[in-house]
Structure formats: C-alpha cells, structure tokens
C-alpha cells in the first residue's frame, strides 16, 4: 500500500487521526520537501523537518527519509514505489496531496504498477486562502511565480492574472521556493554542491508583478490586451505562514507591498478583482 498523506499547513500536529494511523502502520515514511515545507519550522533546506515530524508524532525517525526534488522527480520508482510493492509506504506532503500535480504523477505510476494507493486529505493553501475573506468560488486559475534571472523574465503567469482580473476573478499566486538547487555550472560539472535555500517573498512577488505590467504593456502585438487593467495602485493581499500560529495577512496596494515585510517564509500573494461588500469588509481587517 502507498499512502499519500496530507500534513496540513503549519505543524505536524495538523495531521488527521486517519493520517497518523496510516503513518504508524508504515515501514517507510518519505517526507516530501520539494513542493513545500512546514511553516512552523526554522526554514532551512528542510532537513530539520524529519526530526520535527518524528518527535511531534512519536514516530521512529529511522523510518523517515527526506524526499528532495531529485528523489521525487528522478528516483521515485526505485526509492518509493519499489518499497510499496510488498510493504506499507507513506509519502507525507505539506498541505494536501493533490494540491501539486507532481503527486498526481506518483499516484498514476503507482497504480500502473498495481500498487494500491490511499489518499488522506488535509488543508492546503488553495482552501486556507479563504482566511483573507476572499470568497473561494470567485478565484480563477492559480498561477506560480518563479524567480527571474537577468536574462529570463517570463510573463506567462502575469498574463493569466490579467485574464482572471478581466473576468472578475481573484488570482492566487504561489511563490517560488528553491531548496537543494544546483547552479548551472555545478550541474554541468557534476558537482554535488547546492545553492542556499531561497523563498520568494510577497514583496518580491509584488515587485515582479509591477515589472511585468511594464513588459506586458510594451509587448508588440498585444492588441486589445495591451490595455493593462493593473497598475501601481492595484490592490493585493500578502499572506505569510498561513495556517500557523504566527500567520500574517496584509491588504494594500502593489506599490505598498513592495516595501512590506511579512517575516519568515512561506509567502503567497493574491491579486483580487472586483470585491463584494463582505470581501471588502473582511479585507479592511488586514489594512496595516
């Protein structure tokens, strides 16, 4: 049996009773540290999550393996699925197992091998974002904002934000995390040297969106879309460590968000469209 177990957003203690019983039955437990990390930890490369999980849930730490990007993307079959053929194995995921498409792929590969899979759900950013007061049914397509480089500044995510906005739909922006990543040089030379962890902040995301507005408006052939509905004064909502005891929510303009400090990761950003009366009333609580 392969269990896909959602851990919730803040702490291992957010796990469901059913999820805990599943972990207690497992011979191997893989803590996924690629798509997200537990917000109540001191954010590093995720390594402390293994010990924290074991202590919080009274599990045998020797059964727990930290599943980084390489293990999930390249070694999943040899490291996880092969063990699930004759034993109980769990892949523990911060948030909900199916909030990231990566885990859909693992589910399908397991089923193709005849491995029984049980999914145990939990809260994710996709539902907890309702803490802002924005109504979930009024959200459009979720986007991911990646770290730009000096020579690579894609605005495809921003174009989806504009499309949502023009349709009267809010946009949840999931912000990039870089954990156990190699530089191009080290990758080409085959050197197992990793860059320091990086986590995009709401401030960085707002800055990138403002630059995207300029690029979008200057793009040739944009046609009617050239009239960008967003500007410096457009509202946004920054959230940090959502679901934890020290979560932060701030409602302000994009320009103001650039200079805001919401503290430690993980952060997300919402670009709201037109607001209903109750949404506006709720968001006023977070105007700082």
Res. 43 pLDDT band, cuts 50 70 90: low
* Spatial distance between the Cα atoms of 35 and 22, rounded to a whole number of angstroms: 22
CATH topology of domain 2-123: Cobalt-precorrin-4 Transmethylase; domain 1 (3.40.1010)
Give the residue among 99, 9, 98, 22 at the shortest CA–CA distance from 57.
22
- What percent of the chain stands above pLDDT 90? 74
Tell me what pLDDT residue 230 has. 96
Average pLDDT of the segment spanning 190-209 = 89
For residues 229-254, give the mean pLDDT. Answer: 96
Preceding peptide of 160 cis, ω within 30°: no
The predicted model scores a pTM of 0.90
Q: Which percentage of the chain shows pLDDT scores above 70?
A: 93
What is the average per-residue pLDDT within 23-52?
A: 79
For residues 159-166, give the mean pLDDT: 97
pLDDT digits (tens, 9 = 90+) for 52-105: 899 999 999 999 999 988 899 899 999 999 999 999 999 999 999 999 888 999
Residue 136, C-beta contacts closer than 8 angstroms, at least 6 positions apart: 127, 129, 130
Determine the pLDDT at residue 69: 84
Check pLDDT > 90 for residue 126.
yes
Q: According to the model, what pLDDT value does residue 70 have?
A: 86
Q: What's the pLDDT score for residue 41? A: 54
pLDDT of residue 218: 83
248-253/235-240 β-pairing? antiparallel
Q: Give the residue extent of every domain in the chain.
A: 2-123, 126-286
Same fold flag, 2-123 and 126-286: no
Residue 45: pLDDT band with limits 50, 70, 90? low
pLDDT reported for residue 226: 60
Q: How many CA atoms lie within 13 A of 13 on its CB side?
A: 7
Judged against a pLDDT cut of 70, whether residue 44 lies above it is answered with no
| 167 vs 36 pLDDT, higher one | 167
The pLDDT value recorded for residue 248 is: 96
Instruction: Find out if CATH 3.30.950.10 is the number for domain 126-286.
Output: yes
């Amino acid at each position: 049996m392969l269990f896909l177990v959602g851990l919730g957003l803040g702490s291992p203690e957010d796990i469901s009773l059913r999820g805990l019983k599943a972990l207690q039955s497992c011979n191997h437990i893989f803590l996924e540290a690629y798509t997200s990390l537990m917000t109540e930890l001191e954010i590093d490369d995720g390594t402390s999550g293994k010990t924290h999980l074991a202590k919080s849930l009274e599990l045998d730490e020797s059964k727990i393996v930290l599943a980084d990007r390489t293990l999930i993307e390249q070694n999943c079959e040899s490291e996880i699925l092969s063990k699930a053929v004759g034993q109980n194995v769990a892949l523990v995921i911060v948030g909900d197992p199916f909030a990231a498409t990566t885990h859909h792929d693992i589910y399908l590969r397991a089923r193709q091998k005849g491995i029984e899979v049980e999914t145990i759900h939990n809260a994710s950013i996709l539902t907890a974002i309702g803490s802002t007061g924005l109504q979930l049914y009024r959200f459009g397509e979720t986007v991911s904002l990646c770290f730009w480089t000096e020579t690579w500044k894609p605005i495809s995510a921003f174009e989806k934000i504009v499309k949502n906005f023009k349709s009267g739909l809010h946009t949840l922006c999931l912000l990039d995390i870089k954990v156990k990543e190699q530089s191009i040089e080290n990758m080409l030379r085959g050197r197992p040297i990793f860059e320091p962890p990086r986590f995009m902040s709401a401030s960085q995301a707002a800055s990138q969106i403002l630059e995207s507005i300029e690029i979008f408006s200057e793009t040739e052939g944009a046609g009617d879309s050239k009239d960008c509905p967003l500007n410096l004064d457009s509202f946004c909502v920054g959230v940090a460590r959502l679901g934890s005891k020290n979560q932060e929510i701030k409602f302000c303009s994009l320009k103001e968000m650039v200079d805001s400090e919401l503290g430690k990761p993980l952060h997300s950003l919402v670009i709201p469209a037109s607001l209903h009366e109750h949404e506006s009333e709720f968001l006023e609580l977070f105007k700082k």
